[in-house]
Amino acid sequence: MASDDTTSNQPLVDSDRQRRDAAAVTTNPRPRDDVAFEDVTDSNFVYEFGGPIGAASMIVGFPLLMAYQFLCVYDNKGHFLLPESLSDFFPWAGRMFERYWDIAGPTWTGAKIYLGFTFFMVGLAYVCPGPVMYGYKLPSLNGQRLAYNCNALWSWWIAVITSLVLHFTGVFRLTEIIDNLGPIMTVAMIWSFFLAGALYAITAIKGKKHRASGNVIYDFFMGVCLNPRIGSLDMKLFTELRIPWPILFFISLSCAFKQYEQIGYVTPESAFMVLAHWLYSNACNKGEECVITSWDIFYELESWYLLFWNLAGVPFSYCYTSIYLLKNGPMEFSTFWVAMCYILLLVGYFFWDTGNSQRNRFRMHWNNTFIKRNAFPQLPMSFINDAKFIQTRHGNKLLIDGWYAYARKPHYTADLVMALTWGLIAGFGSFFPYFYLTFFLIVLVHRVGRDDARCARKYGADWDEYMRVVPWKFIPYIY
Single-letter residue type at 263: I
Element (H, E) at 399: strand 397-399
Contacts of range 68-71, beta carbons closer than 8 Å, 24 or more positions apart? 68/96, 69/317, 69/320, 69/432, 69/435, 70/100, 70/104, 70/181, 70/182, 70/185, 70/316, 71/96, 71/99, 71/100, 71/104
**pLDDT exceeds cutoff 80 at 33:** no
Q: What is the Cα Rg of the chain in Å?
A: 23
pLDDT in tens, 430-466: 999 999 999 999 988 888 888 888 899 889 999 999 9
**pLDDT exceeds cutoff 90 at 363:** no
Classify strands 144-149 and 397-399 as parallel, antiparallel or unpaired: unpaired
- On whether the CB atoms of residues 144 and 44 are closer than 8 A, the answer is no
The reported pLDDT for the residue numbered 387 is: 92
**pLDDT exceeds cutoff 50 at 3:** no
* Torsion angle of the four alpha carbons 352, 358, 359, 363, in this order, in degrees rounded to the nearest 10: 150
Confidence of residue 349 (pLDDT cuts 50, 70, 90): very high
- CA–CA dist 268, 335 (Å, integer): 9
The reported pLDDT for the residue numbered 449 is: 84
pTM reported for the whole predicted model: 0.89
- CA–CA dist 50, 383 (Å, integer): 39
